[in-house]
Structure 1
Amino acid sequence: MQDTIERQAGQESRLERGKRVLSEIDGKAGEKVIDSLADIAPDFARYLLEFPFGDIYSRPGLDIRAREIATIAALTALGNATPQLKVHIAAGLNVGISRDEIVETIMQMAVYAGFPAALNGLFAAKEVFRDHV
């Protein structure tokens, strides 16, 4: 997947690249987030596509799998981003991160972000795992 992203990166606008990368990572969940912003902040939806997905996720250096592990760790550590954490846990599953790896990533955050943040992350993962087919 990373090879495809890098190959196509030079031929697309930031917005086009962002839409493609978001779709590859999050599937329908990413589209729902973008669509939910259409009536309140369409410019923010565009920024979300262009910067995180069009610029950062499509950079060389880390593959998508590593980027999702880092994102799951960061969102867990924040402790106040459960909806986004759930989207990225599902995205992690979509890009080949195992349930065990997700649980270990979240548990690791207990050391740096505390037990409450890790517990909230584990409960979010439990919900995603239950609903993920």
Structure 2
Amino acid sequence: MTQSFSNAANSRLERGKRALAEIDGEAGHKVIAALADIAPDFADYVFEFSFGDIYSRPGLDLRAREVATIAALAAMGNAAPQLKVHIEAGLNVGLSRAEITEILMQMAVYAGFPAALNGLFAAKEVFAARDMAA
């Protein structure tokens, strides 16, 4: 019984690592690496639950998942670092800059203008960084 649990946990971890690489690329790995010296187990939880279980579910494609994630993080109004990572992820999975801008503008209706503005400024930073790297 212990062996099958271990194999299931490893498959969740491996599935999560593959999903993170596909979705977030370098930005996601930087977040995970930043946890290494303070909470390495938490990094595994992020891999296993967020990416191995939730992002890997068949119900939505990665574009739809990133639309939801960008909207939720922008609406929170206090998650700019995570929002930037997921704006990057949105671009990685095929969202256009115009689509991301529209998602963030939509947040003005439901989360208020400050949340939308903060989201738009986060997107502006991500877009500028991508332009500089190109």
- When normalised by structure 1's length, the TM-score is 0.90
Partner of 1:5: none
Quote the sequence identity (%): 78
CA-atom RMSD in angstroms: 1.1
SS in 2 for 1:40: coil
In the TM superposition, structure 1's runs of 4+ consecutive aligned residues that sit over 3 Å from their partners are none
Out of 42, 46, 49, the residue aligned to residue 47 of structure 2 is: 49
* Aligned residue identity for 1:98: S
1:108 aligned to 2:112? Answer: no
Deviation per CA, 1:18-54: give whole Å up to 9, x if none: 0000000111111111110000001110000000100
Partner of 2:21: 23
Partner of 1:72: 70
* Aligned residue identity for 2:124: K
Partner of 2:118: 120
Counterparts of 2:91 and 2:26, CA distance in 1: 14
* Aligned residue identity for 2:26: K
Deviation per CA, 1:58-80: give whole Å up to 9, x if none: 00110000000100000000000
**Number of residues paired by the alignment?**
123
> Which structure has more helix as a fraction of its residues?
2
Partner of 2:5: none
Counterparts of 1:30 and 1:76, CA distance in 2: 18
* Aligned residue identity for 2:97: R
Counterparts of 1:119 and 1:73, CA distance in 2: 13
Larger radius of gyration: 2
Partner of 2:4: none
Which residues in structure 2 correspond to 1:59-98 (within 5 Å)? 59-98=57-96
Counterparts of 2:120 and 2:29, CA distance in 1: 25
* Aligned residue identity for 2:127: F
Structure 2 alignment gaps of length 5 or more:
1-7
Counterparts of 1:92 and 1:46, CA distance in 2: 22
